[in-house]
Every structure is written in structure tokens, then in C-alpha cells.
Amino acid sequence: MASVTAVHVHHPVTIVLTRRVRSGKEAEYEEWLRRQFAEAEALPGFMGADVERPAPDAKVREYTSVIRFDSVKNLRAFEHSEMRRKYLAEVVDLVEGDASWHRLSGLEFWFTPPKGTVVPQPSRWRMWVVTMATVYLLVMTFGQLTIRLLAGTPFAVRMAALVVVQVTLMTYVFMPRVTRLMARWIYPSVRPTHT
């Protein structure tokens, strides 16, 4: 069991937090978010944060924050930090109750839920199918092209180039698009955050 935990500690992890902000406290809450994320820039492993604001006509003032760390270890350090305690104490009067949050790690990092949905994580077997299909197509196209272009180089160099090309294309080009295209199948029971 300890070895399994050790493996997962090194995967990127994403936290999705949803908070209902009290009426009239939106500007203060946004300032609170701005200060917190600016301070978080200095934290080990902090990879960034995004905020989805409520629609202007939304009856429920829900803000969704997506926070990314490079590992569970660095996320846990943040969760137990004095900085986090300070910001949690400050936000009490600005929100209606505790935040709802979900932790995503491993393959879930590549799968971004459709905008305006609340979902803990996509189905694992569906993630597996989509990831396998995407990797297969990349290996058969860009992978073959990369290997041919570097035919005269040592095997280790060809494989390193292949891995760099594959992971870059998976992370920044194909998975975001495939996830949007397959959203209804990957997230079969999504529900809107604003009704």
C-alpha cells in the first residue's frame, strides 16, 4: 500500500472549489481571491489557478476556482499551511457556508469538465478508452513522422523526442479538444451549476 501512495504523490493534482458568495460581497470575495492566488505564486509546486464567475443574471452567486499543483505532496503542504488558515479565516464572512471541493489527479488532469458543470471526475474506463484512442492515433501519425525525421539519430534520442512530442500534443492540443468533443460521453451525468 505504501508503494501505491508513493506513486500517486508525484502526479499533478487539480482542486476544484465551489463557493456561494453572499449578496453584495462579490467585490470583496474577488479581491480575496486575487490576494490569495498572488501569494500562492511563491508556493512550491503551484501551477496556477483559474476562476469561473457566476453569470450576471445567476440567482446563485457561485464561484468555481480551479487550483493546480505539481504533486499531492505540495498540495498537502498548502492545505496545512499558515497561509491557507489565514485565508480561510478571512473568507468566512464573505460566503454562505463551506466550499464544495473535488480533487483530480493522474489522468483526470487531462480531462477538463465542460464549462458550467459540477462533476467530481470523469468515468475511469471512459478516460482509459479516450486516452488509449488518442495515444494510438498520435503514435501512428506524429510518432511515425518523428521517428522517420530522426532516423539517423541514436535510439534514445528518437524515443526522447517521441515522448516530448506525444506528451506536448496530448496535453496542449489533442486532449482539450477531444474532451470537448466527447464531453457528453465522458461526463454522462453532468449538471449545470447555474439554473
Q: Residue 23: phi, psi to the nearest 5?
A: -60, 130
The three-state secondary structure class of 179 is: helix
Burial bucket for residue 63 (CB in 10 Å: 0-12, 13-18, 19+): buried
Q: Kindly report, residue by residue over 31-41, the tens digit of the pLDDT.
A: 999 999 999 99
E strand segments, 46-91: 46-52, 62-69
Task: Render pLDDT for 173-188 as a digit per residue (tens, 0 to 9).
Answer: 887 778 777 777 776 5
Residue 69 has what pLDDT? 85
Distance CA 80, CA 165 (A): 37
CB-based burial, 163-186: b 16+ in 10 Å, e otherwise: eeebeebbeeebbeebbeebbeeb
pLDDT reported for residue 3: 35
The whole-model pTM stands at 0.50
Q: For the chain, give every domain's residue range.
A: 2-110, 124-191
Q: CATH number of the domain at 2-110, out of 3.30.70.100, 1.20.120.80, 3.30.1370.100, 3.40.50.20?
A: 3.30.70.100
Q: What percent of the chain has pLDDT over 90?
A: 16
User: Which pLDDT band holds residue 102 (cuts at 50, 70, 90)?
Assistant: low
Instruction: Copy the grid coordinates of residue 143.
Output: 510518432
